Amino acid sequence: MITFKGEPITLEGTPVKEGDQAPDFFALNHDFEHVRLSDFKGQVVIISAVPSVDTTVCAAQTRRFNIEAARHGIKTLTISMDLPFAQSRFCTTEKINHATLLSDFRDRDFATKFGLRIEGMGLITRAVYVIDKTGRIAYRQICADLGQEPNYEEAIQAARKANA
């Protein structure tokens, strides 16, 4: 069960699991161009899903994975329903230059295929996935509460293991 401020929330669809082939999805970059997961075929990818980069926990998560992406050379995609304009502003203000921010606001392709869209809110729940070089999900954490940060160390260890 996932909660927001102590109240249960429902996800639309069924979240994908560890061991599953990651569904190919597309989302928009800051230029409103489609970026697909398949664009990173053969690479280890961390997907950091957040409700909105304009919140304290989401901003902290995005900053942390930006640092880890630089430190370990692992491709990191942060995905939210924020408009590309807001994401671009956030990246400039916060000096996010190693993680790629993608917006799912228009097509909701990521949220739908990964089963992470919050019913009635139109946001993506907080989650982290590590996709290995073969496109399989090597790690998954869906945070139990929207205000809870993910376990960064577990995610990074899983990404490093998948990259070995």
Burial category of 93 from C-beta neighbours within 10 Å (exposed 0-12, middle 13-18, buried 19 and up) = exposed
CA distance 78 to 29: 11
* 91 is annotated as an active-site residue: no
At 159 the pLDDT is: 97
Q: Strands 45-49 and 75-80: what pairing?
A: parallel
Q: How many CA within 13 A on the CB side of residue 43?
A: 16
Ordered by where they begin, the domains of the chain are 2-163 (3.40.30.10)
SS3 content of the chain, % helix, strand, coil (to 5): 30, 30, 40
pTM beyond 0.85: yes
The one-letter code for the residue type at 70 is: A
Of the residues 49, 50, 53, 58, only one is catalytic, namely 58
CA-closest candidate to residue 101, choices 91, 113, 109: 91
The per-residue pLDDT for range 75-103, each reduced to its tens digit, is 999 999 999 999 999 999 999 999 999 99
Residue 105, pLDDT above cutoff 90: yes
At 77 the pLDDT is: 98
